[in-house]
Amino acid sequence: MENGTLRDHLYHSDDKSEKSTSRSELSWEQRVEICIGAAKGLHYLHTGPAGGIIHRDVKSTNILLDERYVAKVADFGLPKSGLPDPENFTMGVKGSFGYLDPEYLTTLQLTEKSDVYSFGVVLLEVLCARPAIIQSSRLDEMNLAEWGMLWQKKGQLENIIDPVLVGNIKPSSLRIFGDTAEKCLKVFSIERPTMHEVSYYLNYALRLQETGMPREPFEDSTTTTITSLELQFPIVLNFPVHEDDDAPIGGDDSFDIEVCEV
Q: Which runs of consecutive H residues, i.e. helices, occur in the chain?
A: 28-47, 102-107, 112-128, 139-142, 144-153, 171-184, 195-211, 228-232
CB atoms under 10 Å from CB of 235, counted, come to 5
DSSP state, residue 256: E
Give the CA dihedral 223, 225, 231, 237, nearest 10 degrees. 40
Mean pLDDT by 10 residues, the chain (262 residues): 92 54 78 98 90 90 95 80 47 82 91 97 97 84 94 96 96 98 97 98 97 52 43 37 48 41 36
Told to judge if 66 belongs to the known catalytic residues of this protein, a careful annotator would answer no
Query: Taking a C-beta distance cutoff of 8 angstroms, is the pair 34, 65 a contact?
Result: yes
How many Å apart are CA 178 and CA 245, to the nearest integer?
15
DSSP state, residue 92: E
Q: Which helix (H) or strand (E) holds 71?
A: strand 71-73
What is the residue-wise DSSP string for 2-28? TT-BTGGGT--TT--SSSPPPSS---H
* Contacts of 95 by beta carbon, 8 Å cutoff, 6+ apart: 56, 57, 101, 104, 118, 256, 257
Residue type for position 90: T
How many Å apart are CA 221 and CA 215, to the nearest integer?
8
Among 202, 133, 140, 137, smallest CA distance to 173 is for: 202
**pLDDT score of 75:** 87
Backbone conformation region of residue 186, classed left if phi is above 0, alpha if psi is from -120 to 50, else beta: beta
Per-domain residue ranges of the chain:
7-261
How many Å apart are CA 196 and CA 225, to the nearest integer?
18
**pLDDT score of 14:** 54
CB atoms under 10 Å from CB of 166, counted, come to 12
**pLDDT score of 140:** 75
Q: Which CATH architecture has domain 7-261?
A: Orthogonal Bundle (1.10)
**pLDDT score of 119:** 99
Of 14, 57, 115, 179, the active-site residue reads 57
**pLDDT score of 101:** 96
Tally of CA atoms within 13 A in the half-sphere of 155 that contains its CB:
5
